[in-house]
Structure 1
Amino acid sequence: MFVNGYFSDCSLLEVFQLLQDGKKTGLLSIQGLVSPDQVRPKYYYIWLHRGRIVTITTRLDSRGLAALISRRQYLSVTMMERLIRRCPIDEPLGRFLRSQGVLTKKQLKILFAAQVVGQIGELLYLPDGYCEFDQTALLPKVEMTGLSVGATDVILPGLRILKDWAAFKEQLPHPQSVLVSLIRGQPNVRINQAEWSVWRLMDENINLGQMATRLGLSLEQVQRIAFCLIFVGLAKEVPMMLGASEIAAIDAEVPGEERLAVRVPVSGVSEPGVSEPGVPVLGVSEPGVPETGGPNLGVPDAGVSDSELSDSSFPGSETEGESLSPSFFRNLLGFLRDAAKSS
């Protein structure tokens, strides 16, 4: 199977889905396209085994995991080099270090989350990139902890730890839109408490502004949660249908073309907040060990603090009103056309 091309043609999530469904083993190389403030492109190397991510690095010198261990002060550089020389070539380095009693199971989980979640967060920032999959590449045992995670299961934790949402501002769902589930039953990925709260309110056919009021969250925080659910394919944005009285009121107040710029007030937050665990949840497993729902890995990448992983750290501000954007009306027209065809 050939998996190569630009993210503008096939998103990172779609690439991961292809590799996971095909249970592919090999190396996915990603070159981030150069932006004006970059001197040279950055490369990411994602190794998979049977559709599960086993490690992510940005270097090919076989010292990415060793450097991470030393940076976290689990072992010295000298001790790491000595242990690497003793590690069997067919055994993941992390598993070997655990068998030698120098690293604990918890430390391995911390290292794996640091390897994977932070790098995925960086990849999501890329405006575009070129990816290529090599199924003949050998797995780098010296870069592996012995843990793995489903390729698509890392997207949502990666979104949760984004520091700067400016790149996604235009893609956030409109406050007057509603969310509609794209799946039957419960979500097929692990979601945190805040996401679950929004998920439950989808059945009540209320818009995002109303959700924010009901949950005691800022509008921007609910928009980001909704974006995450949409991004991973759990839900879609649908324009909320206005009643006859609301349409008449708008027609009476706003003449002609100016209706496209009508301001819609958003209610303030008044109800008690919903506390959240604020950790990325990954279904991490070890070979030969059955999965039990996966641990909570509230683990930052190097340079990412635990507090930055918390959903409650998302900055949010209440707004007095939002203009109905052209995309909102395009979605509304598309929805009405689909409804007319289905009837």
Structure 2
Amino acid sequence: MSLTGYLSEYSLAEIFNFVQDGNKTGLLSIESDRCLSRSLDNSYYISFQTGRIMSVSHGHGLEYRGLLKMMEQRQWLSPEQLTGLSINITKLGQPLGTYLKACNTLDSSQLRLLFDAQVVANICKLFGDIHHGRFDFNPQAPLIYAEMTGISLHAKEVSLLGLRMLRDWSSLSAKLPAPTSMLQRVSSTLPDLRLDSQESKVWNLALGELSIAKIAEQLGINIDRVQQIGFRLCAIGLVNEILPVAIIKLIEHQSADSHPATAPISASFLGKLMGFLKKNN
């Protein structure tokens, strides 16, 4: 199933969560709203295989040989090797990094350096720089083996990395859980994700009993910090936000005034209303 929309509707973390939970394979294209002249300078292409991020290409579309260029800049390949790979790169039936490792051309530490520079650094930049634009997930797109090191990470783990590096949360302010909301764990056991110390503490208290404000007070952390952690944990599916009764009643009242009793309330309406309520809470 393809998925198309705008980052104003779904955050990157929510999109990544969708891909991992669905165990999906395909290509996610992110086009910043700054691409006014159809330039690809602010476009990203993220390859997924069974819910794991395999590669990130940036700036020059699917024909860009980014991984090969990184090897060239590091002088890890001879001119003859580069020429041969450039000619035959479209015929690869496996990740380029896996092929070069099997040929004893690159080792595991070199591939890890490439993966961190290509995937981790680009994802952190993407989370920090692009908050508005269009996205498209195409499950029919072919895998871009030429851009893959053979190393991968769960999409949710990459989301955590990207959100931890985020310094300006203004674009996500309407999506943050309200200070009066509570957090409820989805499961009593923590999945195989590496939470930092503050994330672990908030998850331990996410029992549906304490508000965000109370959790912040108990842990001695600023409320906005706990809101950000709460958003991260919600975005990757570890906790759910439980709205206070007053907000639920207001939503029900607004829904009754705005829609006939027989008409279902739309997701976009709920999203906009929740954003308004949180801003004015």
State the TM-score, normalized to the length of structure 1. 0.57
Deviation at 1:56, TM superposition (A): 1.4
Q: Aligned partners of 2:29, 2:9: CA distance in 1, in Å?
A: 16
Q: Aligned partners of 2:137, 2:279: CA distance in 1, in Å?
A: 39
CA contact (8 A) 2:54 2:153 kept: yes
Taking a change above 3 Å as real, the CA distance of residues 8 and 214 of structure 1, as seen in their structure-2 partners, is: closer
Match of 2:158 among 149, 154, 165: 154
Taking a change above 3 Å as real, the CA distance of residues 213 and 111 of structure 1, as seen in their structure-2 partners, is: farther
Q: Aligned partners of 1:163, 1:25: CA distance in 2, in Å?
A: 30
Pair 1:2 & 2:2 matched? yes
Runs of 4+ aligned residues of structure 1 deviating over 6 Å after TM superposition are: 38-41
Q: Aligned partners of 2:205, 2:15: CA distance in 1, in Å?
A: 30
Deviation at 1:148, TM superposition (A): 2.5
CA shift digits 1:24-47 (9 cap, x unpaired): 4332322222389x9877211122
Q: Aligned partners of 1:74, 1:162: CA distance in 2, in Å?
A: 32
1:107 maps to a residue whose letter is Q
Q: Secondary structure at the match of 1:221?
A: helix
CA shift digits 1:47-102 (9 cap, x unpaired): 2233432211013334211233455x362684762573587722322113323444
1:68 maps to a residue whose letter is M
Taking a change above 3 Å as real, the CA distance of residues 11 and 221 of structure 1, as seen in their structure-2 partners, is: closer
Taking a change above 3 Å as real, the CA distance of residues 329 and 118 of structure 1, as seen in their structure-2 partners, is: closer
Q: Aligned partners of 1:19, 1:114: CA distance in 2, in Å?
A: 22
Deviation at 1:199, TM superposition (A): 0.9
Pair 1:121 & 2:124 matched? yes
Partner of 1:56: 56
State the TM-score, normalized to the length of structure 2. 0.68
Q: Secondary structure at the match of 1:205?
A: strand
1:327 maps to a residue whose letter is L
1:188-267 superposed matches below 5 A? 188=191, 190=193, 191-203=195-207, 205-238=209-242
Larger Rg: 1
Deviation at 1:229, TM superposition (A): 1.2
CA contact (8 A) 2:14 2:236 kept: no
1:28 maps to a residue whose letter is L
CA contact (8 A) 2:206 2:239 kept: no
CA contact (8 A) 1:34 1:40 kept: no
Deviation at 1:168, TM superposition (A): 2.9
Identity %: 33
Taking a change above 3 Å as real, the CA distance of residues 103 and 18 of structure 1, as seen in their structure-2 partners, is: same
Q: Aligned partners of 2:94, 2:39: CA distance in 1, in Å?
A: 37
Q: Secondary structure at the match of 1:206?
A: strand
Taking a change above 3 Å as real, the CA distance of residues 4 and 104 of structure 1, as seen in their structure-2 partners, is: same
Deviation at 1:330, TM superposition (A): 8.0
Q: Aligned partners of 1:231, 1:137: CA distance in 2, in Å?
A: 25
Deviation at 1:8, TM superposition (A): 4.1
Partner of 2:67: 65
1:164 maps to a residue whose letter is D
Q: Which moved more, 1:184-193 or 1:1-10?
A: 1-10
Partner of 2:101: 98
Partner of 1:327: 277
Match of 1:112 among 115, 122, 146: 115
CA contact (8 A) 1:34 1:41 kept: no
Partner of 2:85: 84
CA contact (8 A) 1:27 1:133 kept: yes
Q: Aligned partners of 2:139, 2:204: CA distance in 1, in Å?
A: 41
Taking a change above 3 Å as real, the CA distance of residues 118 and 80 of structure 1, as seen in their structure-2 partners, is: farther
Q: Aligned partners of 1:192, 1:166: CA distance in 2, in Å?
A: 23
1:112 maps to a residue whose letter is F
